[in-house]
Chain A
Amino acid sequence: MATAHTRTLSRLMIAPSVVMLLAWMAIPLAMTIYFSFQRYNLLNPSRRRFAGWFNYEFFVTDPAFFAALTNTLVLVGGVLVITIVGGILFALLLDQPIFGQGIVRILFISPFFIMPTVSALIWKNMMMNPVFGIFANIAKSLGLQPIDWFASVPLLSIIIIVAWQWLPFATLILLTALQSLDSEQRDAAEMDGAKPVALFFYITLPHMSRAITVVVLIETIFLLSIFAEILVTTNGGPGVASTNLTFLIYARALLQFDVGGAAAGGIIAVILANIVAIFLIRMIGKNLEA
Chain B
Amino acid sequence: MGSIRLESVRKVFGDAEVIPGVDLKINDGEFIVFVGPSGCGKSTLLRLIAGLEDLTGGKVLIDDKDVTGNAPAKRRLAMVFQSYALYPHMSVFNNIAFPLKMAEMEKTAIDKKVRDAADTLNLTDYLHRKPGQLSGGQRQRVAIGRAIVREPVAFLFDEPLSNLDAALRVNMRHEISQLHHQLNTTMIYVTHDQVEAMTLADRIVVLNEGRVEQFGSPLQLYQKPSNRFVAGFIGSPMMNFIEGPTAAEHDAHTIGVRPEHIIVSKKKGTWSGVVTIAEHLGADTFLRVECGAIGTITARASGEFTVGYGDTVFLTPDSKKTYRFDKNGRTIGHRPQQADTTGNQKTP
Contacts and interface: CB of A to CB of B under 8 A. Distances in A.
A190 B72 contact: yes
A192 B52 contact: no
A182 interface: yes
A198 B102 contact: yes
B186 to A, nearest CB: 16
Nearest to B158: A184
Contacts, number: 61
Interface stretch (A9-17, A202-210, A235-243): A202-210
B102 A193 contact: yes
A185 interface: yes
A193 B87 contact: no
B81 interface: yes
Interface residues of B, number: 25
B78 interface: yes
A206 B87 CA distance: 9
Interface string B78-101: 110111011111100000001100
A209 B98 CA distance: 19
Interface of A is mostly: helix
A192 B73 contact: yes
B58 interface: no
Contact of A290 (B79, B132, B146): B132
B118 interface: no
B98 A202 contact: yes
Nearest to A183: B85
Given A191-B72, A198-B102, 14 more contacts: A184-B81, A185-B86, A187-B47, A187-B50, A187-B72, A187-B81, A188-B146, A191-B50, A192-B73, A192-B102, A193-B103, A206-B87, A207-B88, A207-B89
Q: A interface, how many residues as a size bin?
A: 10 to 19
Interface in A155-196: 182, 184-185, 187-195
Interface of A: 182, 184-185, 187-195, 198, 202-203, 206-207, 209, 290
A20 B150 CA distance: 63
Closest 10 CB pairs of A and B: A193-B73, A188-B85, A192-B99, A184-B85, A193-B102, A206-B89, A184-B81, A185-B85, A191-B72, A191-B79
A190 B71 CA distance: 8
Contacts of A203: 87
A290 B98 CA distance: 23
Contacts of B98: 189, 192, 194, 202
Given A185-B85, A209-B89, A290-B132, A190 B102 contact: no
Contact of B81 (A188, A202, A207): A188
A182 to B, nearest CB: 6
Nearest to B133: A290
13 contacts: A182-B83, A185-B85, A187-B52, A187-B72, A189-B87, A190-B52, A190-B71, A190-B73, A191-B79, A192-B102, A192-B150, A193-B102, A206-B90
Given A187-B52, A188-B79, A193 B99 contact: yes
A190 B54 CA distance: 14
Contacts of B289: none
Contacts of A187: 47, 50, 52, 72, 79, 81, 85
A183 to B, nearest CB: 9
Interface in B98-137: 98-99, 102-103, 132
Nearest to A187: B52
Contacts of B73: 190-194
B146 A192 contact: yes
A191 B78 contact: yes
A106 B90 CA distance: 35
A168 B48 CA distance: 38
Nearest to A195: B102
Nearest to A287: B89
Contacts of A198: 102
Nearest to B132: A290
Contacts of B87: 185, 188-189, 202-203, 206
Nearest to B74: A193
